[in-house]
Amino acid sequence: MTLAETQPQALEFECETGNYHTFCPISCVAWLYQKIEDSFFLVIGTKTCGYFLQNAMGVMIFAEPRYAMAELEEGDISAQLNDYAELKRLCTQIKRDRNPSVIVWIGTCTTEIIKMDLEGLAPKLEGELGIPIVVARANGLDYAFTQGEDTVLAAMAQRCPEKSPLAETEKEERNAISRLLNFGRKKEEVAESESEYVDHPPLVLFGSLPDPVVTQLTLELKKQGIKVSGWLPAKRFTELPVLEEGYYVSGINPFLSRTATTLMRRRKCKLIGAPFPIGPDGTRAWIEKICSVFGIEPKGLDEREAQIWAGVEEYVHLIRGKSVFLMGDNLLEISLARFLARCGMTVQEIGIPYMDKRYQAAELALLEKTCHEMGVPLPKIMEKPDNYHQLQRIYELKPDLVITGMAHANPLEARGINTKWSVEFTFAQIHGFTNARDVLELVTRPLRRNNSLKDLGWDKLVREEANV
């Protein structure tokens, strides 16, 4: 009997209904206020929320960040103060001092508990101030920390304009992506470049990524003749992509299921259910799926993927044949597990705070296919894991690496288990072909560190001190 015959033939799913052991979702402000350059984020919560934001994002001395706290006092919670009057006072001050194109209200746990009607207050105040106010729920009662972005983008998706009466040339000039890609080029060169695209329905990509990664993925699709009509979010709120019924949309991150649902149900867009472009294998599968939807034969992907794998072999060599356990933190776990399985690792368990099987269907299928092709066992997927039970399983399985939240990293390290903070993958550039090296740099860092300690003979001393 072969190894493959003894392995389970389908992915196993379980749910332990544990608490979310992640950061608070209001941390999404850290990257969204930088991505949407003309925005201002107003977090409505308690002093605890303010302390968290201050520690999570650091104190900026030389530049004012575009976010603030509306701290709820006892008078607010006991309904002795007028919510509308207080929020109007704050938003008027924000408009006067910062003049943003949009104010985003981030609702926290406290606003949920005391039932603040933010959605009812926002339209009236928006009409009085003449500035868009977007309401997003980002409370830790219902969401893991990366899902904070999901609620913001779902709210913004409803603000995307429908087709305007502008002429085609005028629309092209206001397209931020086109301006970025065509910077410094003559009109003749731009026209020649436009002829490289095939005729296909409009495609909008959603997910907040750094500008260099946006450019990389846009150019990867351009090589296949596919034109990206816009990104959600855009660099500026005033440049949100046009969305009309029948437009195609594709998500970049696995934690954007609410945004995907909003785009399909509210804006009548067609979702391209593809694996996510994380790792060379995922990026290739993502491009191939988009090409197949538009009836395009992909070109050069075999060579492109092989080139990337060859360039990261020094990292893959370190983890090939080793085991990994993902505890569950940022909802990137399925994609990371699939990529690490392609690298030759055995994935013992995948913990994930929230599992949307419909939105991640293509990623789950690719994970299963990858494990079969690599001859490694299919992992068990544990939704809302109970950390106590997970730790017991880790002690029994003794994985070579555990990808975990920050709370459990040091205790596991003290017991001789290599760990990597999962939050680092959230803030690193991990999408696309060219960033595969960055993913493996993060994954292999604890293994390389410990190998260096062994070479120096310090590992024995560290263990002895830990026992003491």
Report which DSSP code applies to 401. Answer: E
The answer on pLDDT for 449 being more than 80 is yes
Same domain, yes or no: 282 and 250: yes
Provide the pLDDT confidence category of residue 185 given band limits of 50, 70 and 90.
low
Total domains present in the chain: 3
415 belongs to a structural domain: yes
Same domain, yes or no: 186 and 133: no
* Both tokens assigned to 90: 């704050």
- 8 A C-beta contact, residue 286 and residue 274: yes
Same domain, yes or no: 306 and 287: no
pLDDT value for 194 = 59
Same domain, yes or no: 359 and 436: yes
The answer on pLDDT for 173 being more than 90 is no
Q: Which of the listed residues 143, 160, 194 is the one where a domain comes to its end?
A: 143
Same domain, yes or no: 238 and 199: yes
Mean pLDDT of 140-167: 86
pLDDT in tens, 370-404: 999 999 999 999 999 998 999 999 999 999 999 99
162 belongs to a structural domain: no
Q: How many Cβ atoms from other residues are within 10 Å of residue 344's Cβ?
A: 15
The CATH number of residue 72's host domain is 3.40.50.1980
Same domain, yes or no: 456 and 387: yes
- 8 A C-beta contact, residue 385 and residue 16: yes
153 belongs to a structural domain: no
pLDDT in tens, 452-467: 776 666 555 555 555 5
Mean pLDDT of 109-133: 92
Mean pLDDT of 211-221: 96
When the pLDDT of each residue in the chain is averaged and rounded to a whole number, the result is 88
* Both tokens assigned to 416: 């001789």
Cis peptide before 233 (omega within 30 of 0): yes
Q: How far apart (Å, rounded) are the C-alpha atoms in residues 466 and 329?
A: 26
pLDDT value for 64 = 65
What is the residue-wise DSSP string for 128-145?
A: HHTS-EEEEE--TTT--T
Same domain, yes or no: 8 and 38: no
Identify which has the larger pLDDT, 416 or 218. 218
Same domain, yes or no: 353 and 323: yes
Least confident of 76-80, 139-143, 214-218, 238-242: 76-80
Closest Cα partner for 207 from 228, 238, 225, 222? 228
Q: How many Cβ atoms from other residues are within 10 Å of residue 208's Cβ?
A: 20
- pTM of the complete model: 0.88
Mean pLDDT of 126-135: 96
Residue 125 buriedness (CB in 10 A; 0-12 / 13-18 / 19+):
middle
- 8 A C-beta contact, residue 362 and residue 251: no
Same domain, yes or no: 73 and 92: yes
Same domain, yes or no: 321 and 284: no
Same domain, yes or no: 337 and 461: yes
Mean pLDDT of 133-139: 94
The answer on pLDDT for 171 being more than 70 is no
pLDDT in tens, 326-338: 998 999 999 999 9
Mean pLDDT of 346-359: 96
Residue 94 has, within 13 A of its CA and on its CB side, a CA count of 30
* Both tokens assigned to 30: 């850290």
Q: Which helix (H) or strand (E) holds 387?
A: helix 387-397
Domain encompassing residue 249 = 168-300
Q: How far apart (Å, rounded) are the C-alpha atoms in residues 39 and 103?
A: 6
Q: How far apart (Å, rounded) are the C-alpha atoms in residues 203 and 285?
A: 17
Closest Cα partner for 375 from 344, 410, 404, 329? 344
Cβ partners under 8 Å of residue 379, min gap 6: 11, 337, 341, 347, 348, 349, 350, 367, 371
Same domain, yes or no: 172 and 104: no
Q: Which of the listed residues 252, 283, 300 is the one where a domain comes to its end?
A: 300
pLDDT value for 91 = 95
158 belongs to a structural domain: no
Q: How far apart (Å, rounded) are the C-alpha atoms in residues 136 and 118?
A: 9
The answer on pLDDT for 468 being more than 70 is no
